[in-house]
Structures are given as C-alpha cells and as structure tokens.
Amino acid sequence: MNLRIHRYFSITGSRSLKLKNIVVDNIKKYFEQLIKIESEDWSLFSSKLDKTEHPKKDILLEVGQTEKYLSF
C-alpha cells in the first residue's frame, strides 16, 4: 500500500527533508486528536508516506473512480 502526501508547492535543496518532516508531524498530530497511536504503529505508517506534487486545481480523482491512496 502506498500512501501519498499531496502538496501544492515545490521544495528544493536541503529544506526538502525538514519540510517533509513538518508535514508528517502535522499528520501525526491530526491523527492523535482522534486516536492514540503507538510508536511502532506510527513508524510503520509513516514509512509508507510518499510525497507527490500536483498543480493547483489538478483533478486527483474523476467521478466514478475508486480512490487508491490517502491524500493530505
């Protein structure tokens, strides 16, 4: 299963990893508002996150298509 982080800005250089970590931390904080996540479970989940970028107003899913990814 591949999970993707969707962001609408581009990142280059050494800031890339730092910004990705900030996004992943924000996702974790959001989930923790809803459920308790054990470290081991979070490590497994976050290791599956993959960043992709899409232009503004890009259609990610057409009507009738089945979603295969979680998008943040």
Q: Convert 22-31 to b/e letters by CB count within 10 Å (16 or more is b).
A: ebbeebeeee
Confidence label for 13 from pLDDT (cuts 50, 70 and 90): very low
Confidence label for 18 from pLDDT (cuts 50, 70 and 90): low
User: Global pTM?
Assistant: 0.57
In a domain, 63, yes or no: no
In a domain, 44, yes or no: yes
Structural domain of residue 41, as residue ranges? 3-53
Please tell me the total count of domains within the chain: 1
At residue 9, does pLDDT exceed 50? no
Helices (H), the chain: 15-34, 39-47
Q: Which amino acid is at 59?
A: I
In a domain, 62, yes or no: no
User: 70 Cβ partners below 8 Å, 6+ apart?
Assistant: 3, 4
In a domain, 67, yes or no: no
